[in-house]
Amino acid sequence: MFTAIGRFSVRFRWAIIALWAAALLVSLPFVPGVAQTLRPGGFASDDLESQRALALLGERLGLDGIAVQVLVVSDRLDARSPEFVAQSEAAVAELRSWPLVKQITSFTTAPEQVARDGKAAYFTVVLDRRADDLPNLPAEIERRLRPQPDLRIALGGGPIFYEDIERISENDLRRAELIAIPFAALALLVVFRSIVAALLPALVGGAAATIALAAIGGIAQLTPLSIFVLNVATLFGLGLGVDYSLFIVSRFREELERSPSVREATVATVASAGRAVFFSGLTVAIGLAALILFRFNMLRSIGIGGVLVVVLAMAASLTLLPAVLSLVGRRVNALRVPLPGGGGETGFWRRLATAVMRRPVAVLIPTVALLLALGAPFLHVQLGAPDASILPAGSPSREAFDLLVERFPAAETTPILIALQTRSGTVLDASNLVALDHYVRRIQAHPAVARVESVVSLDPRFTLDQYLLMYANPDRIGDAFVQAAVGGLVKGDTTVVRVISKYGMTDPRSYDLVGALRNSRPAEFNVLISGGSAGVVDYVNTMYHDFPLAVAAIMTVTYVVLLLLFRSLLLPLKAIVMNLFSIVASYGALVWVFQQGNLSGFLGFTPLGFVEASIPVMMFCALFGLSMDYEVFLLSRVQEVYQQTGDNSRAVAEGLERSGRIVTSAALIVVAVSVAFLSADMILVKALGLGMAIAVALDATLVRGLLVPATMRLLGDWNWWLPSSLGRLLPHIEHDGPALAKAGQ
């Protein structure tokens, strides 16, 4: 199969190059506008209870508007002073006449919207859903706000948050590319010591990443994709595109030394290194494809984009690069760069493997202990959902978020919402009011509850009998405040109860309160619970309900692929276990850095106090395949030597010697690209970059250099055990090229 691909790439090289060039030229104009086709967010799912509650309240009570907070701050005036109120009202006057505004709740009628220090307050502006269609909603709102001499105005809320995410994601991507591309180019130059050889992987990797980004923009026209796919696709496109090309070019240079013609060298390269590229790419794609199993659009988007990028990088390495190499031929070594340390393979990796295999247990135990110790902080992980704290200080939504957190009661801005529907009759029927009153009193008795807002708790001075009397004729309610409240809280068989926790939205005690409310639903109503804390609980619980299924799918499919490739029952299982060690260690780093705040000053972020729940999921799916990538290259070489000699120890030593340098170089490029994403302003991207850099670095050093030779020495010939009955059933995958030999000479 791979020999045939090599011959095809040589025979039709001009057509292949023309097709890829045409695809690149068509893609280039679309790449700058890809971000505009993607959607911010993607952290919700319609089947979550919190989302179903919001949908019900929107449908029945009209509470489906877009909420924006307009914060007004003064260094001189008190928020309760007539002058402050007058200037604040003047600031939002034009908003009140905007047809898209459904309602504005002023701090003058909602005392909880006044800051604790009395120097700030906010309006809650509810916009019609049609506002979502405006191309730049925050700018439209700002255009209608009038500056005032004594006030500073800040905007917060979902639209501002999502606008910042889109803008910052684009800036992060440009900055990361400016850092990653020169580092990758320098690493390639150090490996090949030839400008021509170094340029080829960079060009192929860049072409694959560019076409993938344009394709993502096209897919986004058909199905919603999250903005976060942009950074991840670039990371994988650059990293893997260059990685795979690195292996192909290295092998081609070696084949030129022993092949009589460029054509034969190209075919032999694809037949050997191309086979490893195909299966390593397949394992990476399997891991990323598992993200499509999740219910959150952000993860599904990264899965779709990631698989697309990996497939294109793999295809370019197996077709475009061999076609170019067959034309470049021996000129691949042209434009030599004199760099120190270029004396070829020094035997370091053979000596390391031999030393490890002399005392495998003495190496295995402390190495495993070290990796587990690095992962130990993850035992104390606190998982959470993203809010404006993931954005850099100084961004508009982060500024408003910080103001709300620092100067206002935290729970007031993120109440728990309970949507109730009666099983019979209307909410204002006497029997349902009695049941609702009993339910509300039960809630108020919970130690974490500050207060409850409902149609039976509008005024603490009212008794249940008074409410019953008042609601007996709802059309004749004389009190204007009560009449307005009832109009906003009740419609037919549906009502909303707002529960204000004593603690913040992300406080574990607020999560416990959500659990308590869900475990004590009244029999007289159908109850759905939403709000800030409930949304976080649903987000985390749902994601980690789906996670085991994704893990099982990745491991099962990866095991089968490696079983077919290596024809061994134990090697795939050992490879899976080896991968887990580097992933666990990177998980520990996530907690130590982003939850506990270590290195926050150096890396330039504000500690979250938790780990965003999607990061461990994304890292597992991405890193499992990426780590297996290097395992495939290493074990392919070991397998070739074992089949030639039947000597397990020699196969391990020679396999590590001849693939160790090139695997390490490939890992160095991925680490360089990942580290470039540490420059991102958005914490999610920064965390993913750091986690991947740590995991790949550990995988290429401690795992491949120490754990793999130690475990393969202990297992001996059992590494290659396959029952004959199973061997007859499994298809034979050709192994038609000589072993991966010394690369980069």
Is the per-residue pLDDT at 476 higher than 80?
no
Report DSSP state, residue 743: -
* 375 confidence band (pLDDT: 50, 70, 90): very high
* 450 confidence band (pLDDT: 50, 70, 90): very high
Residues 703 and 689 in one domain: yes
Domain presence at residue 744: no
- High-pLDDT (> 70) share of the chain, %: 97
Residues 355 and 286 in one domain: no
Please answer whether residues 135 and 56 qualify as being in contact, where contact means their C-beta atoms are separated by less than 8 angstroms: no
Task: Give the C-alpha separation, 541 to 17, whole Å.
Answer: 48
Is the per-residue pLDDT at 665 higher than 50?
yes
* 133 confidence band (pLDDT: 50, 70, 90): low
Cβ count near 632 (within 10 Å) = 25
Lowest mean pLDDT among 175-184, 321-330, 340-349, 682-691: 340-349
Residue of higher predicted confidence among 377 and 602: 377
Domain presence at residue 52: no
Q: pLDDT tens digits, residue range 390-441?
A: 888 888 888 888 888 888 876 777 899 999 999 999 999 999 999 999 999 9
Please answer whether residues 9 and 318 qualify as being in contact, where contact means their C-beta atoms are separated by less than 8 angstroms: yes
Residues 567 and 500 in one domain: no
Residues 608 and 717 in one domain: yes
Domain presence at residue 580: yes
Please give the average per-residue pLDDT across 189-204, as a whole number.
Answer: 83
Single out the residue of 128, 87, 208, 225 nearest to residue 169, CA to CA: 225
148: CATH: 3.30.70
* 340 confidence band (pLDDT: 50, 70, 90): low
Residues 209 and 309 in one domain: yes
Domain presence at residue 623: yes
Residues 148 and 210 in one domain: no
Task: Give the C-alpha separation, 485 to 259, whole Å.
Answer: 86
Residue 110's pLDDT is: 83
Cβ count near 366 (within 10 Å) = 11
Residue 743's pLDDT is: 33
Single out the residue of 656, 622, 623, 664 nearest to residue 638, CA to CA: 656
Task: Give the C-alpha separation, 244 to 317, whole Å.
Answer: 6
Residue type, 392: P
Residue of higher predicted confidence among 684 and 10: 10
Is the per-residue pLDDT at 356 higher than 80?
yes
Residue type, 704: R
Please give the average per-residue pLDDT across 376-387, as a whole number.
Answer: 89
Is the per-residue pLDDT at 736 higher than 50?
no
Q: Read off the pTM.
A: 0.82
Give helix then strand counts, H and E, for the chain: 28, 11
Please answer whether residues 504 and 458 qualify as being in contact, where contact means their C-beta atoms are separated by less than 8 angstroms: no
Q: pLDDT tens digits, residue range 718-731?
A: 888 888 888 788 77
Tell me the C-alpha to C-alpha distance, in Å, between residue 163 and each of 172, 515, 682. Answer: 14, 32, 13
Task: Give the C-alpha separation, 699 to 162, whole Å.
Answer: 36
Number of domains in the chain: 4
Residues 225 and 129 in one domain: no
Single out the residue of 650, 648, 654 nearest to residue 634, CA to CA: 654
378: CATH: 1.20.1640.10
Cβ count near 22 (within 10 Å) = 10
Residue 742's pLDDT is: 35
Please give the average per-residue pLDDT across 590-615, as a whole number.
Answer: 88
Domain presence at residue 343: no
Lowest mean pLDDT among 102-111, 516-525, 529-538: 102-111
Residue 91's pLDDT is: 95
Q: pLDDT tens digits, residue range 234-263?
A: 777 777 777 788 888 888 888 888 888 899
Is the per-residue pLDDT at 647 higher than 80?
yes
Domain presence at residue 187: no
SS3 720: helix
Residues 474 and 495 in one domain: yes
Task: Give the C-alpha separation, 244 to 16, whole Å.
Answer: 18
Residues 130 and 210 in one domain: no
Residue 346's pLDDT is: 52
Please give the average per-residue pLDDT across 73-84, as a whole number.
Answer: 93
Q: pLDDT tens digits, residue range 26-44?
A: 999 998 888 888 887 778 8
Please give the average per-residue pLDDT across 81-93, as a whole number.
Answer: 94
Task: Give the C-alpha separation, 467 to 437, whole Å.
Answer: 10
Three-state SS letters, 208-231:
HHHHHHHHHHHHHCCCCCECCHHH
Lowest mean pLDDT among 1-5, 100-104, 184-188, 562-566: 184-188
Residue 170's pLDDT is: 80
Host domain of residue 111: 61-162
Report DSSP state, residue 128: P
Identify the domain boundary among 145, 162, 179: 162
CB burial readout 80-100, b (16+ within 10 A) else e: eeeebbebbbebbeebeebeb
Q: Give the strand pairing for 490-491 and 494-501.
A: antiparallel
DSSP H helical ranges for 62-157: 82-96, 137-144
Single out the residue of 565, 568, 562, 559 nearest to residue 734, CA to CA: 565
Is the per-residue pLDDT at 745 higher than 50?
no
Is the per-residue pLDDT at 451 higher than 60?
yes
Residues 556 and 578 in one domain: yes
Is the per-residue pLDDT at 145 higher than 90?
yes
Please give the average per-residue pLDDT across 9-23, as a whole number.
Answer: 94
* 338 confidence band (pLDDT: 50, 70, 90): confident
SS3 596: coil
Identify the domain boundary among 511, 537, 563: 537
Please answer whether residues 698 and 585 qualify as being in contact, where contact means their C-beta atoms are separated by less than 8 angstroms: yes
What mean pLDDT is reported for the chain? 86
* 470 confidence band (pLDDT: 50, 70, 90): confident
Domain presence at residue 627: yes
Residues 576 and 533 in one domain: no
422-425-430 Cα angle (round to 5): 95
Residue 62's pLDDT is: 81
Domain presence at residue 176: no
Residue 738's pLDDT is: 40
Task: Give the C-alpha separation, 678 to 693, whole Å.
Answer: 10
Residues 600 and 520 in one domain: no
Identify the domain boundary among 162, 185, 210: 162
Residue of higher predicted confidence among 146 and 677: 146
Q: pLDDT tens digits, residue range 299-324?
A: 999 899 989 998 998 999 999 999 99
